[in-house]
Structure 1
Amino acid sequence: MNTRASASELSAAQPAVGSSHAHESARAQVAGAVSYIDDLPEIKGTLYAALILSNVAHGRLDGVDTSAALAMPGVCDVVLSKDIPGDKILAAFAHDEPVFAIDTVQFVGQVIGLVVAETVMQARRAARAVKLQITPLPAILTVPDALKAQSFVLPPVHVRRGDAAAALGSARHRLQGSFEVGGQEHFYLEGQIAYALPLEQKQWWIYSSTQHPGEVQHWVSHALGLENNAVRVECRRMGGGFGGKETQAGHLAVWAAVAANKTGKPVKLRLDRDEDFMVTGKRHPFAYEYDVGFDDTGRITGLKLQLAANCGFSADLSGPVADRAVFHSDNAYFLEDVEIASFRCKTNTQSHTAFRGFGGPQGVIVIESIMGDIARVLNQDALDVRMRNLYGIDERNVTHYQMKVEDNILHALLPQLEASSNYRKRQQAVADWNAGSAVIKRGLAITPVKFGISFTATLFNQAGALVHVYTDGSVQVNHGGTEMGQGLHTKVAQIVADELGVPFERVIVTASDTSKIPNASATAASAGTDLNGRAAQFAARHIRDNLAAYVCGLDAVGAGAVQFSGGKIITPKRTRDWNDVVKEAYANRIQLWSDGFYRTPKIHYDKTTLTGRPFYYFAYGAACTEVAIDTLTGESRVLAVDILHDVGRSINPAIDVGQIEGGFVQGMGWLTTEQLVWNDNGLLTTHAPSTYKIPATGDIPQHLKIDFWHEPNREDNVGGSKAVGEPPFMLAISVYEALRNAISAARDGVGVKESVTLIAPATAENVLRALGRLR
């Protein structure tokens, strides 16, 4: 088109970034028109594997009798540790987890081997027929027992600032306490699954439901004794992950690949829900002890804190999880004289792993509990106590790990939520209710969150992407991140569409694939869009620059005069159609594809001292939650929630709201209904939906109001946005604090004034224990 651009043309196109585009595969998903791994067409001759599991928490493995299993119909083979051609021990960091149990078993559910058969049911029946000879050994099942035995998967870590002992000795007020929080099952809708296909010349194609295809590639190649380039790993999408498919998915892929290597046939391995519960790691349970000193206003003057994580039988990701708990044990508050001891306890249970928040929730909850206790002791409003302890703007603004808090918005955000939620008026209404109700008590609480964004292992803060523009003007993107329902591919497509000035619908994102983007980091740490979106933006920008230079040559204008918008390429002289320019550029041998690479700036971290700047920025938020408890039954209900959350400049408001809602409700489940119970023999007894209760639709509060804090990220992040995957999870700690306030109101009514110890999750039994009605 050879007409001059008008002002209306320049403003006609709406940018993709900032718009609430539907999830890129949402319509196809609800129509049942997308494929997960178990839906993929299977290669002829595919076999199916089933797990042989230990039924003892700790013991010497004396023998494995497979004769009965091998005699069963359809059974092709049994795979044990001796059948692994390469490395028999694999793990994310510590290299301490055997692929299959070798000489000992270390938890109920540890995988000893596989049965491979022609059908899934044949394999599962035969696996149950394998006879195990195990001599039981003493088992450690709890954190107190592990601490007593000095049983650790990694050495303890201590962080100190100032002189906590002296500060406590001179404190106007002093308070000690202890409590526990439980773990949490990921409960992704799509269970763990892998499909291993042997190819020619010792090459492999692995379909894995994984958050980290690069690590799966690494593990499979090492187990098979191959170089990484022989293994290709692909993941189009997961049916949920939440951290449970960061390292744990690698085990499935290795097991399937080892079986396929022995049989010479493709092998699929899919866990049923019970197996998934029994085999895979959970959120780390934590136990806390604290000694806090504070003044008459509630401001903390000294703190000694012990965090003990139940890590299970191996390290997995327990080191960085426990580190992040240490980093977030301040949450939003300045701690001048502080001493923190972090213990990484080894127990004979599943090896616990990443879960949304990655240790952050276990750090935040302890300091929020302390704030609530201080307020009760001083008979002051807990929000006032929290406000007095916040990090300052010009002073009191350096964390206990020596990072300066430069973007603190909580001094403005909290008062805004206080006003918009009618907190003061509702506090009085709750007090009036409690004065007139003998059985049903209510509680109200506002808690903030300050969550650090970046991998604390600095090397993972990098990403790559490929952008291809085809001669018809359509665009294809591939990047190192994985899609698990969180909308990463949608946001990346929006970013690329904006950069090239084309409609969102013209951009597609293809399956995560190690043959396209090598050495990609896990999609975790809430950094998926920050890293991969930026890399894709850089790749698209290279193409845009190529096209701009071409058009500048045609119109004899400077590069800064070219605009890309609404499928048009516009200069002061002409407006051209995007498709036409692409075709012309190809004909003139202009490169229409590019790669992009991004690494997060400014971050550094000394893991020996736990000091430095581990995070690029902080994401903030706050929640006001009202609850009710029945003091006779212990039952509780969340009545109303108001959230004000910091997402920076939102790339996709609808997706961000969904992440905030989902994160909050998942956090609410962790703290109220989702209870993991191991019996005295180390058996996880809550290993099915019938015994493990995630929140259902009836548990969602009728009033759930979410507002954004409208201020762009002060750091140069993609689109001015902030990460939104994990921070909202910790807003649910307001539920826990509101429950403690309701319990406190009930205890005050019978003359009990001491602080409230509430074991989480706050099941009916644990609420009754906190009320003193159950022992």
Structure 2
Amino acid sequence: MTSRPSPHQTARIETETVGLSLAHDSAMLHVQGSAVYIDDIREPEGTLHVAPGYAPDAACGRILSLSLDAVRAVPGVLAVLTARDIPGVNDCSPSIGDDPVLADDRIAFHGQVVFAVVAETREVARQAARLGKVEIAAETPAVTVEDALARRTIDVLPDYAFKRGNVTKALRASQTRIEDSFHIGGQEHFYLEGQAALAVPDERGGVTVYSSTQHPTEVQHCLAKMLAVPDAAVTCECRRMGGGFGGKESQAAQWAALAALAARITGRPAKCRLDRDDDMVMTGKRHDFRVDYAAGCDETGRLAAVDVTFLSRCGYSADLSQGVNDRTMFHADNAYFYPQLHIQSRRLRTNTVSNTAFRGFGGPQGMLFAERMMEAIAVRLNLDPLDVRKRNLYETGRDVTPYGMKVTDNIALAMIEELEASSDYRRRRDQIARFNAGSRFIKKGIALTPVKFGISFTLTQMNQAGALVHVYTDGSVHLNHGGTEMGQGLYVKVAQVVAEEFGIDIDMVRITATTTGKVPNTSPTAASSGSDLNGMAARNAGMVIKNRLIEFAVKEWKVARSAIRFERGQVIIGNHAIAFGDLAKKAHQARISLSSTGFYATPDLVWDRDKAKGRPFYYFAYGAACSEVTIDTLTGEMTVDRVDILHDVGRSLNPAIDIGQIEGGFIQGMGWLTMEELVFDDRGRLRTHAPSTYKIPCASDVPADFRVKLFESAGNPADTIYRSKAVGEPPLMLAISVWCAVLNAVGSIRPGKMPPLEAPATPEAILTAVKAMQT
């Protein structure tokens, strides 16, 4: 059951279009199957197909020989690409330049691309790629965090830490001290549309590439330096993605590069679309961690000190690991105040695919630590975990984060108490305790956990966006901006903003594909910032045109500016009304420009990484979830019986879209923490590389009783887009309540003992924890 906003809730925002629960702009196309994704684009005549080739058995080692004669001999194969064919820089890294498009002298992980086959058909290219022979001087790979620690190899990136006070002394003086270590698993993005790109060469050595990417500008930069051409010679376009979740922020560049290189070598259009197995083997995942920590608290569970080390498996290269691991540290407090602290991160190099961005960008791992620590304190002191949580929340006088930012908009306690009452948490917890006391094999658990998530890119320069708006003489509007649509509803939200600005129906706003040819130098659509940044940029562009129209109307009708308003497709000018399209036509005849760019940069962001101080986030998004589960201690099976969610989206731009994001984010988070398990063997090969071996949530896993409500919020400051709040990533962390509820259920077997439950809480993990509790 989902609680939908009532009409009076959406109407309370004094706007005509913003705040309405409008359908996703592509909803009809989605259900009809006519929405065009990269592989649906009509292929230009002569389009070739590219398939990657790699060493099927090796994980790491120096390349001794590369035999491709058999590949070239296959009928239909036009070219076989290697690193020597790259005219520019052989790199597709988003950061420090350590990700080759095609491996040259050595292989660093199983599945690393060594060559690429270009053929008349995709089937021929894929079959031919299997005939390549790559001889390797094989080395023993470092696969796990423990392998990396034992090897003492150079980490992918330097260690980093936040510090406050004397943690060692505070821990020693604490009435209760807890020490613990546990693992947090990674996660496959499993977007419905895999990695895909279509490259079309132009007459002057440039290329237009259609890429399923969250970051068209990153793809543009990568292709330009690889082809040794100016950025302006490369155009990257993306109308929509069939899911991204961070997996197409940096990872899309390599496949676009292979397609572009094939187009350059052959002079013909070329497409690269990965098979699902190859996609899972060759692309990065959510970072997995080992977390070692100690905490000290008083007899009520209130913390005195926290000392935690996050040991992160980054993979073979840096990719986006600096930002991801930094954000793990930023969110290691979740909604709690740590008086004295030491939060450290190790970024470890392993011979596995380089891990990358994933919804939450490291934040979920930090929050899971915080919530496990709250559970451990409650178990040790025989307290209700919710009481421990409430005693440690940020409050006046205890409101400075580990990185020196003051929490001024804290509403966590109000949300928790509202959800505590509406979910009937206390009564249900008592009922569950009685049930468990009388049930030998079936156990229940319940947990209520908060979310406090910082909104903004922590790399300050990325907090900017551009937009392009045209008004035509019939009153219709062309809208383009730097944000990408991956199913999350960004396009319709920004279109609502533009329609609101001109007082027109949203059907008059034409949403066009994101392209570097219209809006340059864009940031990725990530960090939950898509609506915040692009909505403001589009609004600013619309305001420029609107002001020109107002100035024209003032002169034409001899009225004051205050007498002019735009509403319901009309422009009211004093006592006169004119259709918006008619005003646009008159303005055009008067030679008034009806086109403008818009720009927005998030204000007041200051972050000094070296000093670990500043304001990296413009605001925080909040939420709370109460989850109830049932486990079978004989099989390890688990079901989620009921979920209650209260989430703060500020003043929603589109409540229906926001609720969909909350529901989807929660289920994806639930999958990460209960069933999605990445398994690498000791040779560094991913064994869970297909739907047959990697389980994601399906319809039957959605709680039968699923209650979602938007928190009645005053919203953000006035200088945000209609005082709305980001909703892309924060809901994923609501699912931590499910993992904590499983922990609670296992803990009922032996009260007073902390269950050694790992994440994800798969049936095997639950059985392991159950067995430990019984011995």
Could you tell me which residue of structure 2 aligns to residue 224 of structure 1?
A: 227
Could you tell me which residue of structure 2 aligns to residue 744 of structure 1?
A: 747
Deviating more after overlay: 694-703 vs 541-550? 541-550
Aligned-residue offset at 1:489: 0.4
Q: TM-score, normalised on structure 1?
A: 0.97
Aligned-residue offset at 1:138: 2.3
Give me the whole-angstrom Cα distance separating, in 1, the residues matched to 2:728 and 2:91.
32
1:723 maps to 2:730? no
Aligned-residue offset at 1:14: 6.7
Could you tell me which residue of structure 2 aligns to residue 523 of structure 1?
A: 525
Size of the alignment, in residue pairs? 759
Aligned-residue offset at 1:191: 0.4
Give me the whole-angstrom Cα distance separating, in 1, the residues matched to 2:438 and 2:292.
36
**1:84-483 alignment to 2 at 5 Å?**
84-151=86-153, 152-392=155-395, 394-483=396-485
Q: Deviations over 1:371-392 (max 9, x none)?
A: 0110111111111110010001
Asked if 1 retains the 8 angstrom alpha-carbon contact of 2:140 and 2:683, the reply is: no
Q: Which letter maps to 1:41? A: R
Could you tell me which residue of structure 1 aligns to residue 19 of structure 2?
A: 18
Q: Which runs of 5+ in 2 are unaligned?
A: 1-11
Could you tell me which residue of structure 1 aligns to residue 33 of structure 2?
A: 32
Give me the whole-angstrom Cα distance separating, in 2, the residues matched to 1:385 and 1:478.
48
Give me the whole-angstrom Cα distance separating, in 2, the residues matched to 1:256 and 1:610.
41
Give me the whole-angstrom Cα distance separating, in 2, the residues matched to 1:631 and 1:250.
45
Q: For 1:513, which of 495, 512, 515 is the aligned residue? A: 515
Consecutive aligned runs of 4 or more in structure 1 exceeding 4 Å deviation: none
Secondary structure (helix, strand or coil) at the match of 1:201 reads coil
Asked if 2 retains the 8 angstrom alpha-carbon contact of 1:462 and 1:521, the reply is: yes
Aligned-residue offset at 1:263: 1.9
Asked if 1 retains the 8 angstrom alpha-carbon contact of 2:625 and 2:646, the reply is: yes
Could you tell me which residue of structure 1 aligns to residue 764 of structure 2?
A: 765
Give me the whole-angstrom Cα distance separating, in 2, the residues matched to 1:14 and 1:302.
47
Asked if 2 retains the 8 angstrom alpha-carbon contact of 1:465 and 1:517, the reply is: yes
Give me the whole-angstrom Cα distance separating, in 2, the residues matched to 1:93 and 1:604.
21
Secondary structure (helix, strand or coil) at the match of 1:265 reads coil
Aligned-residue offset at 1:303: 1.0
**1:622-637 alignment to 2 at 5 Å?**
622-637=624-639
Aligned-residue offset at 1:583: 1.1
Give me the whole-angstrom Cα distance separating, in 1, the residues matched to 2:121 and 2:552.
58
Q: Which runs of 5+ in 1 are unaligned?
A: 1-10
Q: Which letter maps to 1:768? A: L
Give me the whole-angstrom Cα distance separating, in 2, the residues matched to 1:658 and 1:641.
15
Aligned-residue offset at 1:93: 1.0
Asked if 2 retains the 8 angstrom alpha-carbon contact of 1:712 and 1:721, the reply is: no
Aligned-residue offset at 1:558: 2.1
Give me the whole-angstrom Cα distance separating, in 2, the residues matched to 1:543 and 1:14.
19
Q: Deviations over 1:189-223 (max 9, x none)?
A: 00000111110111211110000000000000000
Q: Which letter maps to 1:20? A: S
Could you tell me which residue of structure 2 aligns to residue 41 of structure 1?
A: 42
Q: Deviations over 1:593-646 (max 9, x none)?
A: 111000000111112233211000000000000001001111111110000000
Secondary structure (helix, strand or coil) at the match of 1:316 reads coil
Give me the whole-angstrom Cα distance separating, in 2, the residues matched to 1:177 and 1:484.
39
Asked if 2 retains the 8 angstrom alpha-carbon contact of 1:621 and 1:643, the reply is: yes
Secondary structure (helix, strand or coil) at the match of 1:768 reads helix
Could you tell me which residue of structure 1 aligns to residue 583 of structure 2?
A: 581
Q: Which letter maps to 1:36? A: Y
Asked if 1 retains the 8 angstrom alpha-carbon contact of 2:55 and 2:133, the reply is: no
**1:491-502 alignment to 2 at 5 Å?**
491-502=493-504
Secondary structure (helix, strand or coil) at the match of 1:679 reads coil
Q: Deviations over 1:24-83 (max 9, x none)?
A: 111022112221111111111111111111231111101110111111111111100011
Give me the whole-angstrom Cα distance separating, in 1, the residues matched to 2:227 and 2:193.
27
Asked if 2 retains the 8 angstrom alpha-carbon contact of 1:176 and 1:292, the reply is: yes
Asked if 1 retains the 8 angstrom alpha-carbon contact of 2:91 and 2:222, the reply is: no
Asked if 2 retains the 8 angstrom alpha-carbon contact of 1:52 and 1:113, the reply is: yes
Give me the whole-angstrom Cα distance separating, in 2, the residues matched to 1:771 and 1:272.
39
Give me the whole-angstrom Cα distance separating, in 2, the residues matched to 1:96 and 1:608.
23
Aligned-residue offset at 1:403: 0.4
Q: Which letter maps to 1:758? A: L
Give me the whole-angstrom Cα distance separating, in 2, the residues matched to 1:386 and 1:508.
47
Could you tell me which residue of structure 2 aligns to residue 564 of structure 1?
A: 566
Secondary structure (helix, strand or coil) at the match of 1:217 reads helix
Give me the whole-angstrom Cα distance separating, in 2, the residues matched to 1:118 and 1:316.
33
Asked if 2 retains the 8 angstrom alpha-carbon contact of 1:14 and 1:566, the reply is: no
Secondary structure (helix, strand or coil) at the match of 2:109 reads coil
Q: Which letter maps to 1:197? A: V
Give me the whole-angstrom Cα distance separating, in 1, the residues matched to 2:30 and 2:447.
38
Q: Deviations over 1:152-187 (max 9, x none)?
A: 100111211111111001001001001001100000
Q: TM-score, normalised on structure 2?
A: 0.97
Give me the whole-angstrom Cα distance separating, in 2, the residues matched to 1:89 and 1:153.
17
Q: Which letter maps to 1:764? A: P
Asked if 2 retains the 8 angstrom alpha-carbon contact of 1:54 and 1:107, the reply is: no
Identity of aligned residues (%): 52
Asked if 1 retains the 8 angstrom alpha-carbon contact of 2:15 and 2:500, the reply is: no
Deviating more after overlay: 316-325 vs 705-714? 705-714
Q: Which letter maps to 1:137? A: E
Give me the whole-angstrom Cα distance separating, in 2, the residues matched to 1:642 and 1:162.
38
Aligned-residue offset at 1:90: 3.3
Deviating more after overlay: 602-611 vs 322-331? 602-611
Could you tell me which residue of structure 1 aligns to residue 7 of structure 2?
A: none
Give me the whole-angstrom Cα distance separating, in 1, the residues matched to 2:201 and 2:595.
31
Could you tell me which residue of structure 2 aligns to residue 713 of structure 1?
A: 715
Give me the whole-angstrom Cα distance separating, in 2, the residues matched to 1:44 and 1:714.
51
Q: Which letter maps to 1:484? A: M
Q: Deviations over 1:719-774 (max 9, x none)?
A: 110000000000000001000000000233xxxx3212211111111001111269
Asked if 2 retains the 8 angstrom alpha-carbon contact of 1:747 and 1:771, the reply is: no
Aligned-residue offset at 1:89: 2.7
Q: Which letter maps to 2:764? A: E
Secondary structure (helix, strand or coil) at the match of 1:200 reads coil
Give me the whole-angstrom Cα distance separating, in 2, the residues matched to 1:442 and 1:108.
41
Asked if 2 retains the 8 angstrom alpha-carbon contact of 1:631 and 1:746, the reply is: no
Q: Which letter maps to 1:48? A: H
Give me the whole-angstrom Cα distance separating, in 1, the residues matched to 2:611 and 2:670.
33
**1:605-624 alignment to 2 at 5 Å?**
605-624=607-626
Q: Which letter maps to 2:402? A: H
Asked if 2 retains the 8 angstrom alpha-carbon contact of 1:555 and 1:573, the reply is: no
Give me the whole-angstrom Cα distance separating, in 1, the residues matched to 2:166 and 2:559.
65
Could you tell me which residue of structure 2 aligns to residue 673 of structure 1?
A: 675
Give me the whole-angstrom Cα distance separating, in 2, the residues matched to 1:679 and 1:203.
42
Could you tell me which residue of structure 2 aligns to residue 554 of structure 1?
A: 556
Asked if 2 retains the 8 angstrom alpha-carbon contact of 1:312 and 1:352, the reply is: yes
Give me the whole-angstrom Cα distance separating, in 2, the residues matched to 1:237 and 1:412.
38
Secondary structure (helix, strand or coil) at the match of 1:129 reads coil
Give me the whole-angstrom Cα distance separating, in 1, the residues matched to 2:99 and 2:505.
48
Aligned-residue offset at 1:712: 3.3
**Over aligned residues, Cα RMSD in angstroms?**
1.3
Q: Which letter maps to 1:763? A: T
Give me the whole-angstrom Cα distance separating, in 2, the residues matched to 1:127 and 1:149.
34
Give me the whole-angstrom Cα distance separating, in 2, the residues matched to 1:94 and 1:286.
22
